[in-house]
Amino acid sequence: MSKPDYYEVLGLQRDATESDIKKAYRKQAMKYHPDRNAGDDEAAARFKEAAEAYEVLGDVQKRQVYDQYGHAGLGGPFQGGGFQWSDFTHATDFEDIFSNLDDVFGGGILGDLFGRRGGRRGPQRGEDLRIPVRLTLEEIASGVQKRIRFARMDRCDTCAGSGARSGAAARTCSVCNGMGQVRQATRSLFGQFVNVTTCPQCNGEGKVIGDRCADCGGEGRAKKTVSLSVNIPAGVTDGNYIPLRGQGSVGPRDGASGDCMVLIEEAEHEHFERHGNDILYELPISFSQAALGAEVTVPTLNSRAEMKIPAGTQSGQVFRLKGKGIPELNGYGTGDQLVRVMVWTPARLNEEEKTLFRQLAELESIQPPEGGKGLFERMKEAFGA
């Protein structure tokens, strides 16, 4: 079976730069990563194929040989002994490319694939938790302290996190001899291939517990409900989160604790509508207030404010109350409150009101733009005058 072209594997042209090669490999490895494609043999093969291509193209000397002689050069005398998977020693290149992969996928897959040194993995870190907190606009505008209650995995009180029954001790894993890793050597056309995986017996810890704690089943942790106080600053928005470091679940058998992420959810307000750091309020006013002008009181997020409606105000016109909106999250500046006035049309009029409107309609001399109907003309039609 012919070998694939390494440039095609990574989707590159032959004049690709070192930076292009790294970016292309990162893209392929992220796409076919085993943690994203669990149980997919084809994806696993593509992942190893991409790693093989990067092993050659990412090395200046090997790339020169490959460009000149192709795959034959990698396994022939041009390579000085042939291409060996055991030559995969510059794992630091891969770790540099995937310096944050463990955070993304939550594991040590890179070490499993490329034999990263360092012995057993040790206790695992606990899970991160995401706790939603619902806030009103008033709370967002002023900042608030909230108490949250949630369940997490905490250290088992019975075994103090060891996972062993009282008086029992953990023993060295007989499968990996305490190394936490299992190495299996196989041979291929390229030579010897060493596959390093996490020990399935001890899960990478190097020790196993024979006499397990009855309360936690040997895990060293149990579910508990906790209560924490969280200070939420003014200016947060829907989707923001506040990290509480080390307040997530504790890891199995005394592993480090994960984090608790407090996720902000913004509750819909009955009267106000948020637009960035500005808030919008719709104020109903009467015909007379719109025509003659008026002083009105407008509710704000934390109090009330006086506002002047100028004579001749049109329905839908927007006024601005400076500094009455949401503060900036960084503390620099505050948004405004926008007040959109809506001229209110009464649904019913008594006879006296109808008479007054008819009289006003007779006196009305100003026509709206483009020959539209006047205010009181519309009133006559609405009330059958």
Q: Indicate the pLDDT class of residue 132, thresholds 50, 70 and 90.
A: very high
Asked which of 52-56, 172-176, 181-185, 374-378 is least confident by mean pLDDT, the reply is 374-378
CB 52 within 8 Å of CB 3: no
| Chain-centre distance for alpha carbon 229 | 23
Query: In degrees to the nearest 10, what's the CA dihedral of 37, 40, 41, 42?
Result: -80
**Dist CA 310 CA 383 (whole Å):** 27
Question: What is the average pLDDT value for the chain, to the nearest integer?
Answer: 80
Write down how long the chain is.
385
Task: Convert the pLDDT of each residue in 25-41 to its tens digit.
Answer: 988 888 888 777 777 88
Radius of gyration for the alpha carbons in the chain, expressed in angstroms and rounded: 35
CA distances from 186 to 81, 110, 183 (A): 18, 19, 10
CA distances from 29 to 46, 172, 179 (A): 8, 35, 27
Q: Across residues 246-259, what is the average pLDDT?
A: 91
pLDDT at 185: 75
Task: Convert the pLDDT of each residue in 175-232 to its tens digit.
Answer: 888 888 888 777 665 566 778 888 888 877 788 887 888 888 888 899 999 999 999 9
- Which domains are seen in the chain, by residue range? 6-114 (1.10.287.110), 126-161+221-268 (2.60.260.20), 269-344 (2.60.260.20), 347-385 (no CATH)
228 Rama sector, left if φ>0, alpha if ψ -120 to 50, beta otherwise? beta
* Number of Cβ atoms within 10 Å of the Cβ of 266: 17
Highest mean pLDDT among 195-204, 233-242, 371-380: 233-242
> Residue 361 above 70 pLDDT?
yes
356 vs 328, residue with greater confidence: 328
> Residue 143 above 90 pLDDT?
yes
